Chains A and B, each alone.
Chain A
Amino acid sequence: MPQDMQAIHEKVQQQSQFVDKILAETGKVIVGQRRMLERILIGILSNGHILIEGVPGLAKTMTVRTISDCIRTRFQRIQFTPDLLPADLIGTLIFDQRTGAFTPRQGPIFANLILADEINRAPAKVQSALLEAMQERQVTIGDHTYPLPEPFLVMATQNPIEQEGTYPLPEAQVDRFMLKILVGYPDKAEERQIMDRMTELETPTAEPVITPEEILAARRVVSEIYVDPKIKDYIVDVVLATREPKRYGLDSLEGLIAWGASPRATIYLTMAAKAHAFLRHRGYATPEDIKSIGADVLRHRIIVTYEAEAEELTSEDIVRQVFDHVEIP
Chain B
Amino acid sequence: MAAMILLWAGPSLGQTRMPQLPPPNLGQPAEPSPAPASVPAAAAAAPGEMPAVTISARLDQTEVHARDPFRCTITVSWDKKPAGQTAELDFDFPDPPRSEGIRVTGNSFKASAVADQGAVHVVREYTYELAADKEGKLSIGATAVVFRRRGGGDEQKLMTHPLEITVLKPRLRLTEVISPHRAKLIIVGALVLAVAGLVLIVVRDRKKKAEVISEPIETLEDRCLRQLKDNETHRIAGHYAEYFLGLAAVLKGYLRERYQIRTQGQTTDKIADALKQAADQETADAVRNTLHLCDRVKFAGAQPGPAEMDRAYEAARSLIERSRGMDFGELSRAACQAPTSN
Interface residues, chain A, CB within 8 Å of chain B? 1-2, 5, 9, 35, 226, 228, 230-231, 282-288, 291-292, 324, 327-329
Q: Give every chain B residue within 8 A of A228 (Cβ-Cβ).
A: 298-301
CA–CA, A318 to B269, complex, Å?
A: 22
For the complex, is B268 an interface residue (Cβ under 8 Å from A)? yes
Contact between A1 and B302 (Cβ–Cβ < 8 Å)? yes
Q: Give every chain B residue within 8 A of A324 (Cβ-Cβ).
A: 265
For the complex, is B148 an interface residue (Cβ under 8 Å from A)? no
Contact between B301 and A291 (Cβ–Cβ < 8 Å)? no
CA–CA, A228 to B265, complex, Å?
A: 18
For the complex, is B296 an interface residue (Cβ under 8 Å from A)? yes
CA–CA, A1 to B303, complex, Å?
A: 5
Contact between B302 and A5 (Cβ–Cβ < 8 Å)? yes
Q: Please encode chain B, from 103 to 143, with 1 for each CB lying within 8 Å of some chain A CB and 0 for all others.
A: 00000000000000000000000000000000000000000
Q: Give every chain A residue within 8 A of B296 (Cβ-Cβ).
A: 1, 284
Q: Which of B266, B270, B300 contacts A1 (CB 8 A)?
A: B300
- Using CB atoms, name the residue of chain A closest to B268: A288
In the complex, the 10 A-B pairs of residues with the closest C-beta atoms, listed nearest first: A284-B300, A1-B302, A288-B267, A228-B299, A286-B295, A286-B299, A287-B267, A288-B269, A284-B299, A291-B267
Contact between B302 and A35 (Cβ–Cβ < 8 Å)? no
For the complex, is B342 an interface residue (Cβ under 8 Å from A)? yes
- Using CB atoms, name the residue of chain B closest to A8: B300
Main SS at interface, chain A: mixed
19 more contacts with CB within 8 A, not counting A2-B301, A292-B342, A329-B299, are A5-B300, A35-B342, A226-B299, A226-B300, A228-B301, A230-B298, A231-B299, A282-B300, A284-B299, A285-B299, A286-B268, A288-B269, A288-B270, A291-B267, A292-B267, A292-B269, A327-B265, A328-B267, A329-B298
A27 to chain B, nearest CB (A): 19
8 contacts across the A-B interface (CB closer than 8 A):
A1-B302, A5-B302, A228-B298, A228-B301, A284-B300, A286-B299, A288-B268, A329-B298
- Using CB atoms, name the residue of chain A closest to B301: A2
B138 to chain A, nearest CB (A): 92
- Using CB atoms, name the residue of chain B closest to A1: B302
B239 to chain A, nearest CB (A): 16
CA–CA, A97 to B226, complex, Å?
A: 89
A284 to chain B, nearest CB (A): 4
Contact between A9 and B300 (Cβ–Cβ < 8 Å)? yes
CA–CA, A209 to B266, complex, Å?
A: 35
CA–CA, A231 to B300, complex, Å?
A: 10
Contact between A1 and B301 (Cβ–Cβ < 8 Å)? yes
Residues of B291-319 contacting chain A, CB below 8 A: 295-296, 298-303
Q: Give every chain B residue within 8 A of A288 (Cβ-Cβ).
A: 267-270, 295
A305 to chain B, nearest CB (A): 25
Q: Give every chain A residue within 8 A of B267 (Cβ-Cβ).
A: 286-288, 291-292, 328
CA–CA, A285 to B298, complex, Å?
A: 11
CA–CA, A170 to B303, complex, Å?
A: 48
Q: Please encode chain B, from 247 to 272, with 1 for each CB lying within 8 Å of some chain A CB and 0 for all others.
A: 00000000000000000011111100
CA–CA, A228 to B300, complex, Å?
A: 7
A289 to chain B, nearest CB (A): 9
Most buried by B among A2, A228, A288: A288
CA–CA, A206 to B293, complex, Å?
A: 35
CA–CA, A2 to B268, complex, Å?
A: 23
- Using CB atoms, name the residue of chain B closest to A35: B342
CA–CA, A327 to B205, complex, Å?
A: 47
B342 to chain A, nearest CB (A): 6
The answer to whether residues A283 and B300 also contact, given A288-B269, A327-B265 and a CB cut-off of 8 A, is yes
Q: Give every chain A residue within 8 A of B268 (Cβ-Cβ).
A: 286, 288
Q: Give every chain B residue within 8 A of A287 (Cβ-Cβ).
A: 267, 299
CA–CA, A242 to B266, complex, Å?
A: 20
- Using CB atoms, name the residue of chain A closest to B342: A292
CA–CA, A328 to B267, complex, Å?
A: 8
CA–CA, A57 to B265, complex, Å?
A: 37
A43 to chain B, nearest CB (A): 17
- Using CB atoms, name the residue of chain B closest to A325: B265
CA–CA, A89 to B79, complex, Å?
A: 145
CA–CA, A33 to B340, complex, Å?
A: 18
Q: Give every chain B residue within 8 A of A9 (Cβ-Cβ).
A: 300
B42 to chain A, nearest CB (A): 111
A37 to chain B, nearest CB (A): 14
- Using CB atoms, name the residue of chain B closest to A293: B342
CA–CA, A226 to B301, complex, Å?
A: 10
CA–CA, A319 to B88, complex, Å?
A: 121
CA–CA, A287 to B303, complex, Å?
A: 19
Q: Please encode chain B, from 168 to 180, with 1 for each CB lying within 8 Å of some chain A CB and 0 for all others.
A: 0000000000000
Contact between B300 and A230 (Cβ–Cβ < 8 Å)? no
Residues of B264-295 contacting chain A, CB below 8 A: 265-270, 295
Q: Give every chain A residue within 8 A of B303 (Cβ-Cβ).
A: 1
A16 to chain B, nearest CB (A): 16
Most buried by B among A1, A35, A231, A328: A1
Q: Give every chain B residue within 8 A of A328 (Cβ-Cβ).
A: 265-267
B249 to chain A, nearest CB (A): 13
- Using CB atoms, name the residue of chain B closest to A290: B267
